[in-house]
Amino acid sequence: MMSAKMRGGLRALVLVGLCVAMACWTVPSVASTALAPTPTPKDVPYPGMLKLDVDLRDAPRRIYRMHETIPVQAGPLTLFYPKWPLPDHAPDGAIANVAGLVITANGRQLPWRRDLGDMFTLHLEVPAGVDHIELAFQYLSPGAGVWYGYEVWSTPHLVDLDPTQVAFYPAGYYTRRIQIEPSFTLPSGWRYATALELAGRSGDVLRFKPLDFSDFIDSPLIAGEYFQRIDLAPGAKVPVHLDIVGDSAASVAISDAQVTGFRNLVTQLHALFRSHHYDHYDLLLTVSDHVDGTGLEHHQSSLDMASADFLTDTDAFVADATLLPHEFTHSWNGKFRRPADMWTPTFNEIQPADMVWAYEGLTEYWSGVLAVRSGLLSAAQYRDALAATTAAMAHRTGRRWRSLQDVADSAQLLYFNGNHWSNYRRATDFYPEGELLWLDVDTRIRELSHDRRSLDDFAKAFYAMDDGSHVTRTYTFDELVAALNGVQAYDWAGFLRSRLDYTGDKLPEHGVARGGWKLVYTAQPSDYAQAVAHAHHSVDLAYSLGATLGTDGEVRDVQWDGPAYAAGLVPGMKVVAVDGSGFSADVLERAVASAQGSTTPITLAVSYVGTFSTLQVDYHGGLRYPHLARVDGTPDYIGEIATARK
């Protein structure tokens, strides 16, 4: 047998031989030394081009595979994974879904260490003689229970890809100064759409033209077995397309009336803003019950996710008719014009949302206006939608303690809150309350100018600049106020602050009343409300019983201090019986109606965390559903707002 000393000597000789043969270098460690500080970003070109290959052939199993090459220099290196990927208004980058990360240089694996103060930052040491590193990793799309946008993004028939999920980038540079060359491999035979510009294709491998990292992150991709592409601007110099993927051929079918509505949307957007800030635009629409429903705006595209029956069921379409108008509008309001705090040189700096009431609230206002002007909603449906929003905000008990400004300031928390107690805690109310705020502004301009000017004039003044340019133009609160004053002189700063800082029981926005209408309640829900209830499987008794439920009986929210609250009902309970009869939406609604004028409480049998109990709801006011009623003798500004522009 060979002695231990002889074995050690032979091992050393073998290692020396290997090092000579492989140009061996020492792999530095980052585990036992102090981590280098994260460099401050510089507005200078990054040396070299990143290359990224994304393999989506396993997307049906919710697995994306990445291989990334990053040019480097020897010494400390910090890598970022996007943490604040606008438009999310939250540090919600999906790094928790990244797995299998291996970084190599010249075929050797390099150690790396996560920053203890920032989970989205990695540190490593690049050895001498290395001019590039390679990253191999997977993105594992999780299942239910994860916050929106990162829940489920693929099915056996389709995939939605947000570039924030699939790339790291070097710290120390503005992302607009980092160049990347991406490629994607699709499942066999799948068709795709993206704002990225194709450089070449070989089978299912797509190679795209190099672009800066900011634009890459801003360019999602959809692909699927069932796909349809609609030209929304036939013959136009600036193309606009609607690209649809779904889980079946039936789900991607679109009617002629819907095509007309979406084509009208393009026309109405340009009539409103008198400009565009893209070379081409793609509305990327996914229709599936297995992909998390949301909408994400981008400069030259939007990622829109709706239910599988969105295009085939009238109620589903009406319920989400403002989704595509909202995200398309963001190309102007949010991507081109943006509150100054929300512009950052990289995707890893804090993006304060203190003016999200302008970013999202104004977009929400215009999404309804554009939907009705385009014919996606009728004038009656638009008014009924306004009634629903007005009633919801008028009964927002959380307004007693929390202002709209605080809701905006804490946006990054509210996206994670869920629906329970949202009436009292408040949710992302800068959408619906922001809509009412900007209706208030619009009708006030019309009133002050004797109907000669409107928020449409503000839109032209604020967005019709740098036509065709993609370069973001930021603004401050004072600059926004100045732009409003340029349309109509008024104390806009005081006007906005009085609404942003308000706490109390009253509705501070007066756009509905100034618009010539008033909020009323009847025992019959509007057609719009019935469509929303059907599409969202909901039972809305917020303004009577004081609760909203699912059609399965699960309590979604309870009005703080309302009748149901007083009886002990809480979100998360499940109503299993009403007055001795098994639960259904009809049974509950009939019980509320029958209790009107009576003194007998409504009896609810409920289950909650493994226990059963009986609650007595002492409510006798009957069913109450919101509507708008015309006020005679006043200008119908809401009717004017809903009228299509030329």
Q: Residue 271 pLDDT > 70, yes or no? A: yes
pLDDT digits (tens, 9 = 90+) for 203-212: 999 999 999 9
**CA-CA distance, 14 to 11, in Å (whole number)?**
5
The whole-number pLDDT of residue 292 equals 78
Q: Residue 3 pLDDT > 90, yes or no? A: no
Per-residue pLDDT, averaged over 576-597, amounts to 97
Structure tokens at 630: 């015309």
Structure tokens at 585: 């939406």
β-pair partners for 136 = 67, 102
pLDDT confidence band for 502 (50 / 70 / 90)? very high
β-pair partners for 121 = 80
Cα dihedral sign, 627-630-631-637: positive
Give the residue carrying structure tokens 């008198």: 274
Pick the CATH number of 337-514 from 3.40.50.150, 1.10.150.120, 2.40.160.40, 1.10.390.10: 1.10.390.10
Q: Residue 594 pLDDT > 50, yes or no? A: yes
Structure tokens at 397: 């008990």
Per-residue pLDDT, averaged over 473-491, amounts to 98
Q: Using CA atoms of 160, 166, 172, 174 in order, give the dihedral in degrees to the nearest 10.
A: -20
**CA-CA distance, 69 to 49, in Å (whole number)?**
8
DSSP string over 19-58: HHHHT------SSSSPPPPPPPPBSS--SSEEEEEEE-TT
Superfamily of domain 527-626 in CATH is: PDZ domain (2.30.42.10)
> What is the β-pairing status of strands 179-185 and 49-55?
parallel
- Phi/psi for 268 (5° steps) reads -70, -35
pLDDT confidence band for 153 (50 / 70 / 90)? confident
Structure tokens at 435: 């809509």
Q: Residue 1 pLDDT > 80, yes or no? A: no
Cα dihedral sign, 405-438-512-486: positive
Structure tokens at 115: 């920053």
pTM over 0.85: yes
Amino acid at 610: G
Interhelix angle 455-463/256-273, nearest 10 degrees: 70
Please give the C-alpha separations between residue 493 and each of 247, 500, 508, 510, in angstroms, as whole numbers.
49, 10, 15, 17
The whole-number pLDDT of residue 149 equals 42
- Phi/psi for 292 (5° steps) reads -60, 125
Q: Residue 26 pLDDT > 70, yes or no? A: no
**CA-CA distance, 21 to 200, in Å (whole number)?**
38
Closest CA to 514 of 403, 386, 378: 386
Structure tokens at 606: 């409920």
Q: How many residues does the chain have?
A: 646
Q: Residue 225 pLDDT > 60, yes or no? A: yes
- Phi/psi for 226 (5° steps) reads -110, 115
pLDDT digits (tens, 9 = 90+) for 97-152: 999 999 999 999 999 999 999 999 999 999 999 999 999 999 998 765 454 444 66
Instruction: Enumerate the domain spans of the chain.
Output: 49-226, 337-514, 527-626
Asked if the 49-226 domain carries CATH number 1.10.3720.10, the reply is no
pLDDT confidence band for 458 (50 / 70 / 90)? very high
pLDDT digits (tens, 9 = 90+) for 408-456: 999 999 887 777 999 999 999 999 999 999 999 999 999 999 999 999 9
- Maximal C-alpha separation, the chain: 110
Per-residue pLDDT, averaged over 529-541, amounts to 97
- Give the three-class secondary structure for 428: coil
Closest CA to 602 of 537, 561, 547: 547
User: Under a CB-based contact definition with an 8 Å cutoff, are residues 41 and 80 in contact?
Assistant: no
pLDDT confidence band for 35 (50 / 70 / 90)? confident
